[in-house]
Structure 1
Amino acid sequence: MRSLERHRDVGAYALGVLDETEAFRFEDHLMECPQCAVQVTEFGPTARQMMLYRRATPRAVHPFAGPGPQLLDRLLGEVAARHRAVRRRVLYAVAASVVVALAGPVLAMTMGAGGGDGGEDPVRVTATDEKSGVWAQVTTENETWGSHVELKVKDGAGPRSCRLIAIGVDGSEQTVTSWTVPEHDARPNTVQGAAAWNTDEIDHYELRTAAGEHLVTLPAH
């Protein structure tokens, strides 16, 4: 297949709709095309929303069926919650600006003593595989839709295309992000990704090559 046609397979590959042969061919192309590697990562939010819809839809429901009342209620509830959160952030910002204007030194002393916004701290795990020599660090932060994931990895065995896989507590898997390792470059590489699960729904993470070779395993907590 011509290179231009390979570029057009980015969306289908990211959503997991290519058959095994086509996926294997595209992964060969991915190793030599940084542009497609970036686009595969950018498709993460779309793939995540598709995953959320699939999880909210019973297997017996036709994929093109209209959403039922429960799904609509859930979506409307999430939208309303996000709107409330935005309004709260605006009100907090206005209140904070007033306090700073009236009592800047007092606020500075308070923040220095207690600090923080009260949010949940990110979860960070690190591991090195003795066999592959790959070092990885995963930092996960819960969101309303799942979790945001930052991966730092050192892998001097490139060039090769790799994936970060989240394994759920139920044994199912999600591809969090993918990237291409440069040739013989062991410097740290940082990529961003996302999962449709919160941290407590993930059992562990695995780094694998596009061909399925295991590189390193990291606990989720």
Structure 2
Amino acid sequence: MTSRVEHTDVGAYALGLLEEEDKEAFEAHLLFCASCRSELTDLAGVAHALNGIGPVEDVAPPSPGPVVDMLQRRKAAHRRTRRGTFVIGMAAAVTLVAGGLTVGTQLTADGAPQVAQGHDDHMGPAEQFYADGKPIDGKGVDGVTGGLVVESKGWGTHAALKLAGVKGPLECELISVGKSGERRVMTGWSVPPAGYGVPGSPDPLYMHGGSATPLKDIDHFEVVTSAGKKLLTIQA
């Protein structure tokens, strides 16, 4: 399971659409991801609005609503694949609902979902949060550029990262550095050989991350490689 799929799985988990193996893997991921735990809390109300149930359960309710019934039928159709693109797409759509976007879902004549929303439907949750916020530009090395949009949460600090000008293969982490010097990993990912925001691969990378350190206690943020090289520094 990749980091991208782990974070996207919040919506699928909330609707009870994950296979048992993936469900267990995602629950293990939740132990170390404050951002996903927060989004899952928000999604409890979204799942209730969609299908009339409360917290996620392994067994579907006896009379699911039309949206959930459609999701379950689509899931069965793709059972032979480990992760159907439909499940990922719906998980992302539900995550957008949790993020406060105005989303309306209805079924088309052929039973497929039709989603209309007030924001750019080509943006993922991290990119949308970044676009709607006030980015803090970072200082990069070797042509790396990027920035953060941050917000204070009851559990700590939520951030959306934009990163460009980086080539792989690399393993990177976004780290919060407290005023006391305490360092916390907010999220991690792999950079493919093609990279992000470079010729031939012009799209930047957008990632969510969470830190238990309150925003008022953070001095700055860093993007570092697994080898310890600092690619980007962003002042809080």
Instruction: Name the TM-score class by shorter chain.
Output: 0.3 to 0.5
More helix by share: 1
Higher RCO (C-alpha under 8 Å, 6+ residues apart): 1
Specify the structure having the higher radius of gyration (Cα): 1
